[in-house]
Chains A and B, each alone.
Chain A
Amino acid sequence: MKKILKAEHVTYLFLITLIVVTVIPFLMMVLGSFKQDYEILSMNPKLLPREGFMLREYNQLFDYWPFWRNMLNSTIVTTITTVGASFFCALAGITFAKYRFPGKEGLFLVALASMMIPFESIVVPTYILIRTLGGLNTYWALIVPKLIPPFGIFLMRQYAYSGIPDSMLEAARIEGAGEWRIMTGISFPIMKPAMISLAILTFMNSWNDFFGPLILTTKSKMFTVSVALKSLADPGQPDLGIVLAAATLSVIPIFIMYAAFNKQMLQSMLEGSGK
């Protein structure tokens, strides 16, 4: 008995160390955002800011960088992408799962194959294309290309396949309901949990997105938070307090969502991984 207890202690110690290692970098970020640079990188580090929790770094950030605007940009892009992705992926997913029409298999295969074209391998032509269309530094260029992620269609299709009973659709048809009426009145309400899952994933991906916004924006006013953060951190000797203040602000929306929908988010991420 004594031996088992000891093994258990080691296990808990291991898990607690794990949590500490996970949390400390975040703690450093938040505490650092209240510190001056010489305190952030110091041979004699103190846990808490020497002069207390002053908002100096935050004020400096807003004085010399349009960071509120960047937060607003990210909010606009993320909101529209999230709503759009949930709607269009559900629509396409249900169609592929529940309807029969000529060429369906082939079209589905195309959608499947489109997942194998990673954005990273087409950044250069995408940049030229968007530039030619006059889309640099516009919201639509940040939104439209990511509006209907193919993996979302798959997620929706899988859920619709077993989630929406064919008998219900047939019954509605016999009663003479139009197809669009059936889609919005019957199928969409059933898809709600899956759509919420996808919305959470899309929100996260979109808010944290970096490479696309990096190449598609050149004016600091049109940066998303990720790109702004990169710009702030870019110089050889950046003002670390300001960078950490921006970093702290940028994670707030995601962390709030995570705290509020923890279980749901965990579930979404598992579904998103295809497990």
Chain B
Amino acid sequence: MLGEMKKKYYCYLWILPFFILFFIFQLYPMIYGFFLSLTRWNGFDPTPTIIGFENYLTLAKDRIFWETLWNTVLIWLMIVPLRAFLSLLIASIINSPEIKGKGIYSFFLLLPNITAVVVVAVIFRILLATNGGTINNLLGIIGIAPVKWLESSEFSKISIAIMQTWKATGYFTIIMLAGLQKIPKEIYEAADIDGASKTKRFFRITAPLVKDVTFFVVLMSTIFVFQNVGATMILTNGGPGHSSTNLILYIYNNAFQYSKIGYASSMSYILFMILLFISYFSVKFNREKM
């Protein structure tokens, strides 16, 4: 074994750069973060004070923490089911044989996705502005009074959902489209011969056959919802109150605004557990497909 390792030393050399970075910038922060979560520290004192699991106990009683999780659930509900449906619907429309210029639709639909979240959030701050914002101007035409999209706790989550839907639905549509294009045309032809209607074709053939892709879209969307921090920061900064704050933003605020490094670290671990749970499924799912 050792001889073999010596002989193949170059293999280790070639994967070494990755492992060096992994140890310094992933594994070490993981462990150090856990240590920090057991301390009270403002980040400036020379040493953190070890307080055991107190941060986690505080966390369990922190109403804002629970509110951020609940916000994420609500935003998830507004985004993910609709997105799965929309991307499948749009993809199957583009995929139908009578539609010409498929490339053009894909070209435009991907534009929001290649754009930085920060840019998208800046644009939506203007679109969703209460006075003189484009969307309220349009609603005004049909006689609807200005909606406080970003300044009321009823609408702040909806605004984030609108922005995210605009940003990522195109991307997931393209993934759906790729899934649809793998379905053999013969199946549709057979359905046409049997006289199946388009609606029936969609629900009976298309939808079941893209179950895997849909599952993927839902998983990735879920991770996106949890990781969404830049967009939230710029669109609403989590407000008004904490009505649109998600866990990452709360972690960021605790660490970098309130100087509660220890407390923020304990929340990071909870976030890690949640994301681990989700990505475990996605990796497992992907490996089965490989």
Residues of chain A whose beta carbon lies under 8 Å from any beta carbon of chain B? 8, 11-12, 14-15, 18-19, 21-26, 28-29, 32, 40-43, 45, 88, 91-92, 94-96, 99-104, 107, 110-112, 114-118, 120-129, 144-145, 147-148, 150, 153, 158, 179-180, 183, 204, 207-208, 210-211, 214-215, 225-226, 229-230, 233, 240, 243-244, 247, 250-251, 254-255, 258, 262, 265-266, 269-270, 273-275
Contact = CB atoms under 8 A, between A and B. Distances in A.
Given A99-B11, A118-B272, A258-B114, A41 B255 contact: no
A23 to B, nearest CB: 6
B32 to A, nearest CB: 4
A152 B18 CA distance: 11
A32 B175 CA distance: 32
Interface string B90-124: 10011010110000111111111111111111111
Contacts of B117: 208, 210, 226
A8 B14 CA distance: 56
B213 A275 contact: yes
Given A229-B122, A233-B234, A19 B275 contact: no
A247 B122 contact: yes
A147 B196 CA distance: 52
Contacts of A21: 166
Interface residues of B, number: 98
B20 to A, nearest CB: 9
Nearest to B173: A18
B69 to A, nearest CB: 15
DSSP majority for the A interface? Answer: helix
29 contacts: A15-B105, A19-B105, A22-B170, A25-B123, A45-B132, A99-B11, A101-B12, A102-B1, A102-B5, A111-B18, A111-B22, A115-B279, A116-B280, A121-B271, A121-B275, A122-B29, A124-B264, A124-B265, A208-B115, A208-B118, A210-B117, A215-B252, A226-B117, A244-B126, A247-B119, A251-B115, A270-B178, A273-B216, A274-B286
Interface string B246-281: 001001100110000100110011011001100110
A97 to B, nearest CB: 11
A275 B123 contact: no
Nearest to A122: B29
A95 B106 contact: no
A28 B216 contact: no
A1 to B, nearest CB: 13
Contact of B116 (A26, A112, A210, A262): A210
Contact of B8 (A99, A262, A275): A99
Which of B12, B119, B251 has most A Cβ within 10 Å? B119
Given A25-B124, A210-B116, A270-B174, A115 B137 contact: no
Contacts of A229: 116, 118-119, 122
Contacts of A147: 17, 21
A5 B276 CA distance: 50
